[in-house]
Amino acid sequence: MSTEPTQVAERPAEAAPPPAGHAPRFWSPRRAPAALAAAVLLVASAAFLYDIGAVRAHHPAMHWRRVLARQLATRPLDDTWVLTGAGVAAAVGVWLLALALTPGLRDVLPMRRSHPDVRAGLRRDAAAMSLRDRAMEISGVRRVRVRLGRSRARVLAVSQFRDLDEVRADLDAALTDAIEGLGLAHPPRLTLHVIRPGRKD
């Protein structure tokens, strides 16, 4: 009879999925601003390096650098052109910082994550169309306008017949269920208005 120990393979525990509401926004690659900034920096750096190399090789500095150095040395700090250039540089810097620190892609709403390695998003116009189609299924609804933001879904419905309170109750139940069915990580709050034809909200 064999007395060798029996080896039992244990399956590693799977990582617990993140909480339902934990889903950060999608970040935009921002290719156009990055390419523009890189191109400007590349051209400016190449021009300065070429001019410095020419000076080191005992050639005269390029005309534009001589003019720039003369202007920077002679113009006072409160000169209009100096203030304008500083304002433009500061505005461009703030714009680049905003692009670097903000996610972008506001049209893509993050969905709940059921697996830590899988992320999904839903376009805002598609979600709004889904809510509109769901609202149009309610009896008495003639027209629907949906404005979907990151935190609020504003719905304006026009009811041609039926009591407005009944239509509002049916719409509230249907749209609340539809918003939950979208599977968004941060479901927007519903703001519902029901009016008669001819009125403007």
Q: What is the pLDDT of residues 76-125, one digit of tens each?
A: 888 888 888 889 989 988 888 887 777 777 778 888 877 777 777 888 88
Average pLDDT over residues 136-144: 91
Span 25-40, pLDDT tens digits: 667 777 787 788 888 8
Residue 172, pLDDT score = 92
Tell whether pTM > 0.85: no
Q: DSSP readout, the chain?
A: ---PPPP-PPPPPPPPPPPTT--PPPPP--HHHHHHHHHHHHHHHHHHHHHHHHHHTT-PPPHHHHHHHHHHHHS-TT-HHHHHHHHHHHHHHHHHHHHHHS---TTEEEBPPSSTT---EEEHHHHHHHHHHHHHTSTTEEEEEEEE-SSEEEEEEEESSS-HHHHHHHHHHHHHHHHHHTTBSSPPEEEEEEE-TT---
pLDDT at 177 over 70: yes
- Max mean pLDDT range (27-36, 56-65, 170-179, 192-201): 170-179
